[in-house]
Amino acid sequence: MMLAHSVYFTLKDRTPAAAAKLIAGCREHLTGHPGMRAFAVGTCADYDRQVNDRDYDVALVMVFDSHASHDAYQTADRHNRFIAEHADSWAKVRVFDADLATLDT
């Protein structure tokens, strides 16, 4: 079963420049890990609907082919470097992990 790993960052400095710096760090350190099936990063969309949670600046969504691939990513050197380089910029981080069923399961 695939695993979706979604991370929502609220930044201390909520400027477009700070968001761009974090997005660049995500692209540098978090792409191309073994077992990663999809990677996307971007900013909060401008939808003002009652159901939208807009308390974040940068969204990161990755899909892994298995829990094992995700678990290896969590301890990878590049992931740890990303945290070391960017954690001071975060006011809040929320992580949502979900098991994904595909059409053939």
Whose structure tokens read 């609907």? Answer: 49
Q: Is residue 85 part of a domain?
A: yes
Amino acid 49: pLDDT: 87
Q: What would the pLDDT profile of 14-51 be if each residue is shown by its tens digit?
A: 999 999 999 999 999 999 999 999 999 999 998 888 88
- Mean pLDDT taken over the chain: 95
Residue 29 buriedness (CB in 10 A; 0-12 / 13-18 / 19+): buried
Q: Is residue 28 part of a domain?
A: yes
pTM: 0.92
We report the CATH number of the domain holding residue 34 as 3.30.70.100
SS3 string, the chain, reads CEEEEEEEEEECCCCHHHHHHHHHHHHHHHCCCCCEEEEEEEECCCCCCCCCCCCCCEEEEEEECCHHHHHHHHCCHHHHHHHHHHHHHEEEEEEEEEEECCCCC
Q: Is residue 104 part of a domain?
A: no
Rounded Cα distance between 3 and 66, Å, is 6
Rounded Cα distance between 22 and 19, Å, is 5
Q: Is residue 23 part of a domain?
A: yes
Q: How many domains does the chain have?
A: 1
Q: Is residue 87 part of a domain?
A: yes
Percent of the chain with pLDDT over 70: 97
Q: Is residue 27 part of a domain?
A: yes
Amino acid 105: pLDDT: 56
Q: Is residue 103 part of a domain?
A: no
Q: Is residue 6 part of a domain?
A: yes
The range of the structural domain enclosing residue 80 comes to 2-46+55-97
